[in-house]
């Protein structure tokens, strides 16, 4: 999900596209909420935990515990499960007022385009999705000035280990299936059947790093 400015007559980049989104949704939100009082100042950085539920794959199975850990670290946390009916203006308002966003690769991560430059995006990368995670979301996030962090799960954090065992090639060598070996059947396993349960002890360190970045944003007046 990137823009190659060399391929269009009047070169534009993702930064231009982000500015366009800001212009469109800021105007619509002003019309909707202009009667409301100004938002109060915050003492804690605001984190949006994006989740999905159901039999859809790449579900963060322990998202409730992750929310608790983020709160212990110091974040004010909002859990966001976007639906097809969720207005984009609602998603924009939430993301554009946050300091950090966390989610598993593929879980509506396109919402990173609504983050303000300087905000933190912590992407949980499941097995066999490293290249896609960087290309589809990591690279665009960095292009619009978002602080990008990546949490690559270990085999024990993938639900696939229960089905295949830790010695199976699907678990031991997931990177070998990316690229030319990425068939429909392989895609279905890694993207539709795989869920994630992050190691809270290890993940806590990433949350702390994201929190420190968020505090700096507050100190600079980014409420």
User: In terms of DSSP bridges, do strands 100-104 and 46-50 run parallel, antiparallel, or are they unpaired?
Assistant: parallel
Q: Which residue from 209, 200, 203, 198 is spatially nearest to 59, judged by alpha carbons?
A: 198
Q: Tell me, what's the pLDDT at 19?
A: 85
Grouping H, G, I as helix, E, B as strand and the rest as coil, residue 79 is strand
Given pLDDT bands bounded at 50, 70 and 90, which one contains residue 144?
Answer: very high
Indicate if the pLDDT at residue 32 is higher than 60.
Answer: no
pLDDT top residue among 34 and 23: 23
Given pLDDT bands bounded at 50, 70 and 90, which one contains residue 28?
Answer: low
Give the mean pLDDT of 205-222.
Answer: 95
Tens digit of each residue's pLDDT (9 = 90 or more) over 101-132: 999 998 999 999 999 999 999 999 999 999 99
Grouping H, G, I as helix, E, B as strand and the rest as coil, residue 22 is helix
Is there a contact between 116 and 96 (Cβ–Cβ < 8 Å)? Answer: yes
Q: Tell me, what's the pLDDT at 23?
A: 84
Alpha-helix residue ranges (DSSP H) falling in 48-125 = 63-73, 88-96
Indicate if the pLDDT at residue 1 is higher than 60.
Answer: no
Indicate if the pLDDT at residue 88 is higher than 70.
Answer: yes
Q: Tell me, what's the pLDDT at 7?
A: 63
CATH of domain 12-29+42-219: 3.40.50
Indicate if the pLDDT at residue 9 is higher than 70.
Answer: no
Spatial separation of the C-alpha atoms in residues 136 and 173, rounded to whole Å: 22
């Amino acid at each position: 999900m990137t823009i190659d400015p060399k391929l269009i007559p009047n070169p534009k980049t993702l930064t231009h596209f982000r500015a366009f989104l800001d212009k469109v949704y800021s105007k619509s939100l002003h019309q909707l909420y202009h009667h409301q009082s100004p938002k109060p100042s915050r003492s804690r950085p605001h984190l949006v935990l994006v989740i999905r539920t159901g039999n859809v794959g790449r579900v963060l199975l322990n998202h409730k515990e992750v929310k608790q850990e983020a709160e212990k670290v110091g974040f004010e946390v909002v859990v966001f499960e976007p639906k097809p009916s969720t207005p984009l203006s609602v998603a924009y308002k939430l993301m554009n007022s946050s300091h950090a966003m966390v989610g598993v690769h593929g879980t509506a991560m396109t919402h990173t385009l609504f983050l303000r430059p300087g905000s933190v995006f912590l992407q949980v990368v499941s097995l066999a999705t490293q290249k896609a995670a960087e290309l589809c979301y990591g690279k665009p996030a960095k292009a619009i000035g978002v602080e990008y962090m990546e949490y690559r799960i270990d085999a024990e954090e993938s639900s696939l280990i229960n089905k295949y065992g830790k010695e199976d090639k699907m678990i031991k060598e997931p990177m070998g299936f990316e690229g030319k070996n990425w068939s429909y059947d392989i895609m279905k396993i890694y993207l539709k059947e795989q869920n994630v349960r992050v190691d809270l002890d290890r993940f806590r360190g990433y949350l702390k790093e994201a929190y420190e970045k968020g505090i700096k944003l507050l100190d600079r007046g980014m409420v």
